[in-house]
Amino acid sequence: MKVFFFILSLTSLGLADEEINSRYFPEGFKFGVANAAPQIEGGWIEDGKTESIWDHFAHTHPEMIIDGSTPDIASDSYHKYKEDVALVKAMGLDHYRLSIAWSRILPTGYTDKVNQAGVQYYKNLFAELKAANVEPMVTLYHWDLPQVLEDQLGGWLNETVADLFAEYARLCFELFKDDVKMWITINESKQVCQVGYGMGAYAPGVVSNGIGEYICTKNVILAHAKAYHIYDEEFRATNKGTITIVIDTTWFEPGSDSEEDQEAAERMLQFTFGLYANPIFMGNWPQVVIDRIAERSELEGFSSSRLPAFTDEEIVYIKGTYDYLALNHYSTLMVNATADAPIGDPSYDNDISVLTWRQPEWPSGSADWFAVVPWGMRRLLVWLKKTYGDVEIIITENGLSDNTGIMEDDHRVSYYQGYLSACLDAIYEDEVNLSAYTAWSIIDDWEWTLGYTSFLGMYYVNFTDPERTRIPRKSASWFTNMVATRCLVDTCTE
Ligand code: NOJ
């Protein structure tokens, strides 16, 4: 049985109308939801926790946060974690992706003082999940560097921070060795580095376009690799779990069949995904990234490339530090070739030099950055398979951002239905090795610079209500039913 999804005007692209795949999700395919400490916990300086760079950024630069808000209380999960776990359990989910706040465990940033109250919070949370039969998928770094390490060391621009991260990771592997089997080192290095240390729009707000972001990227990749090796050598045999890094990308669709546009879209993917993934999957930066930055750096008068090179030892050390490919994906953009930006001030965008745009007829989630394009996810999954081989893939985030907060969120149901259908297409038609899907998000949260104005939760949270009551939107029951039936339409076939 075929059920037609919304009709997109894709004729200009020569694509068929979207339709919902009516096969069951394969046996063993897992479903989960994701969240992150700085976005839901609150308790920002409670029980010994110290400021993270995001706490500090929101407090010192309210003009950078759309509603001038802070994550001080957020969804108050520090106090309401039992409720959150009950919701996850009621949805019948296999895993719950959450993150540990570094400065809740290590208030000085270093391993000299372990905050027992912080450790206990996560122990309690993991015990609750265990009792609910839900697997924790734990991110060690979801953008919340202890502020003290920014102040003292310059944060991710300093390679020492990679060593400190590795020590923090080792401590967590040890502390939670009986509680956690699915480890993720770092979430979305691109946002950490490009937006945090290049554009300066995210914490810590360092503006160092075309320079800082690449230094940061190398350090983040080294930090990941160090943590991976510690896990591999000291914990894997007994913990028997997995560890990887989460990388995000939009899908970039060539604006035409011309060779130039095809190349531009591929270049964009290499600068947004390959830059962060290739060192880990293949050992080094993508060649097109190496060549373009080297060439532009020389023309700009630098004596060496703004992209720091990996040594031969580093290449061997980093290559292969993944157990599976963890992907965050939300949306799609069109890409056209454009003339190379003139040589002037260094910039990441100029290093890429492409034109991106959105098809006006694409439905949006009412947020500016967003377009609902399920086939983009399928194409991305196929591109990943082509580029990185037949690797196991887990979607660690996908969901609809909307700025109304509406309870009858049919558009979110359509989004999930369309994107999950694209997953089924990729699994059954393209033989992509996709083993799990994680929705962002179960409850509304503090959305970084969008503060409390962007809603992605299947449960509404009223941020002006001290109780922070969680109230189900329509999508919560749709998703729960989908997980129970493992099917996206009324009747499925094997
Ligand atoms: C990706 C980030 O990992 C997450 O923190 C964020 O809230 C979502 N995108 C939605 O914007």
Average pLDDT over residues 239-251: 98
Global pTM exceeds 0.75:
yes
Question: Which residue type occupies 194?
Answer: Q
The helix, strand and coil proportions of the chain, stated in percent and rounded to the nearest 5, come to: 45, 15, 40
Mutation probe of ligand 1 site: the residue of 99, 142, 188 with most atoms within 8 A of C-beta: 188
Per DSSP (E only), the strands in 85-205 are 95-99, 135-141, 182-187
| pLDDT-wise least confident of 44-48, 188-192, 223-227, 400-404 | 400-404
SS3 35: coil
pLDDT digits (tens, 9 = 90+) for 280-318: 999 999 999 999 999 999 999 999 999 999 999 999 999
State the pLDDT at residue 50: 98
pLDDT digits (tens, 9 = 90+) for 272-282: 999 999 999 99
pLDDT exceeds 70 at position 473: yes
CA–CA separation, 207 and 348 (whole Å): 12
CA–CA separation, 46 and 36 (whole Å): 17
CA–CA separation, 204 and 13 (whole Å): 40
pLDDT band at 140 (very low <50, low <70, confident <90, very high): very high
Q: Tell me whether residue 397 is one of the annotated catalytic residues.
A: yes
State the pLDDT at residue 17: 40
pLDDT band at 165 (very low <50, low <70, confident <90, very high): very high
SS3 467: coil
Mutation probe of ligand 1 site: the residue of 54, 193, 447, 452 with most atoms within 8 A of C-beta: 447
The whole-chain average pLDDT of the chain stands at: 95
Could you give the percent of the chain with pLDDT greater than 70? 95
SS3 67: coil
State the pLDDT at residue 8: 31
pLDDT band at 337 (very low <50, low <70, confident <90, very high): very high
CA atoms within a 13 Å half-sphere pointing along the CA-CB vector of 265: 22
Residues 6+ apart with CB under 8 A from 195: 201, 202
Is the previous residue joined to 441 through a cis bond, with omega within 30 degrees of 0?
Answer: yes
| pLDDT-wise least confident of 168-177, 274-283, 323-332, 354-363 | 354-363
CA–CA separation, 46 and 23 (whole Å): 48
pLDDT band at 207 (very low <50, low <70, confident <90, very high): very high
Q: Tell me, which fold does domain 30-485 have in CATH? A: TIM Barrel (3.20.20)
Question: Which residue type occupies 458?
Answer: M
SS3 434: strand
Q: Which of 18, 188, 213, 266 is catalytic?
A: 188
State the pLDDT at residue 368: 66
Q: Is the dihedral of CA 321, 325, 330, 336 positive or negative?
A: positive
pLDDT exceeds 70 at position 2: no
pLDDT exceeds 90 at position 38: yes
Distances (CA, A) of 235 to 229, 231, 323, 430: 9, 5, 14, 35
Domain locations in the chain as residue ranges:
30-485
State the pLDDT at residue 3: 37
Question: Residues with beta carbon inside 6 Å of ligand 1?
Answer: 36, 39, 187-188, 328, 397, 401, 440, 447, 456
Q: Which atom of ligand 1 is nearest to the CA of 330?
A: 9
